[in-house]
A and B are shown apart, each in its own frame.
Chain A
Amino acid sequence: SAVISQKPSRDICQRGTSLTIQCQVDSQVTMMFWYRQQPGQSLTLIATANQGSEATYESGFVIDKFPISRPNLTFSTLTVSNMSPEDSSIYLCSLRIVETQYFGPGTRLLVL
C-alpha cells in the first residue's frame, strides 16, 4: 500500500466560495482518483487524474466545478468551486495499486 495524506482534514465554508483540497502520496503513482461520499451514501468517483494530462471526469461532474491539478506523480489537488450546501460531503483522494483501491483520510466539507 501507500501512505496518503490530505489537507485540510475538515473545513466549514460559506456558499459561493471555493476550497482546494490537497493530496500527497509517499510514492510515485500514475493515476490518482478523487471520490465524493455524501452523507449516508456510498463512494462516487468524481474524476481520474493522470500526471501530465487533463483529468477525466465522470458523468455529472465538470471541470469548471471541480478543477483538478496533477503537477507531479506524488501530488494532486481538487478544487470545489462556487460551493453550495449540496457540496457538503467527504472528499477522498485515492490511488490504485495492483487492482486495489486505497483511500486517503478524507476532507470533511460543510457548506453553509
Chain B
Amino acid sequence: QKEVEQNSGPLSVPEGAIASLNCTYSDRGSQSFFWYRQYSGKSPELIMFIYSNGDKEDGRFTAQLNKASQYVSLLIRDSQPSDSATYLCAVGTGNQFYFGTGTSLTVIP
C-alpha cells in the first residue's frame, strides 16, 4: 500500500467552478500535510499546509483535514485557467516526507 494516494485524474472543471482534489494516507501517526502545485516543466511550489483537523482557508484555496478518516483535500474556488497544473499531496511522518503521484487539473475557459 502506498503511503499517499491520489487520483491521477485528469480532472477538468469549467472556469469559475470549484475544483476538489483528494488525498488519503496510510500512517495514522502522520502529523503534517501539504499541497503543492506543479506546472508542467517546473518544480513543485507549496500552496498550503495543515496540521489540525478541520478547514484552513487561504484566499481561493481551502485545505481540509480529517485524521480519523486519514483524508486530506484541497478545494479551489473560482477556478482559473492559471490553476491548471498537477497538484501533489505530501504527508510528513516523523522525519519522512511522502508524496502522492499528483492529480492533473485542467480549468476550461
**Which A residues fall within an 8 A CB radius of B?**
1, 41-43, 45, 90, 92, 96, 99-106, 108
Supplied contacts A42-B88, A42-B101, A96-B97, 13 more A-B pairs, CB within 8 Å: A1-B46, A42-B100, A42-B102, A43-B44, A92-B44, A99-B31, A99-B32, A100-B49, A101-B90, A102-B46, A105-B43, A106-B42, A106-B43
Which A residues touch B97, using CB under 8 A? 45, 96, 101
Classify the secondary structure of A's interface with B. Answer: strand
Contact between chains at B44 and A103 (CB < 8 Å):
yes
Most buried by B among A1, A90, A101, A106: A101
User: Interface on B for A, CB 8 Å cutoff?
Assistant: 31-32, 34, 41-46, 49, 88, 90, 92, 97, 99-102
In Å, the complex CA distance between A107 and B35 comes to: 22
- Shortest beta-carbon distance, B104 to chain A, in Å? 10
Between A and B, how many residue pairs show CB distances below 8 Å? 37
- Least CB separation from A1: chain B residue: B46
Chain B residue numbers with a CB within 8 Å of A92 are 43-44
Residues of chain B contacted by A99 (CB below 8 angstroms): 31-32, 49, 92
Nearest CB in chain A: distance from B17 CB, A: 26
For B2, give the chain A residue with the smallest CB separation: A42
Alpha-carbon gap, A45 to B93, bound state (A): 14
A104 CB to closest chain B CB (Å) equals 6
Q: Chain B's nearest CB lies how many Å from the CB of A18?
A: 23
Task: Find out whether the CB atom of B43 lies under 8 angstroms from the CB atom of A103.
Answer: yes
Partner of A43, one of B45, B46, B92, B99: B99
Query: Is A100 a contact of B43 with CB atoms below 8 Å?
Result: no
Closest Cβ–Cβ distance, residue B9 to chain A (whole Å): 12
Nearest-CB distance from B106 to chain A (Å)?
16
Contacting pair B101 A41 (CB below 8 A) = yes
| Chain A residues in 8 Å Cβ range of B45 | 103
- Whether the Cβ atoms of A105 and B42 lie closer than 8 Å is yes
CB closest residue in chain A, given B88:
A42
Closest to B102 in A: A42
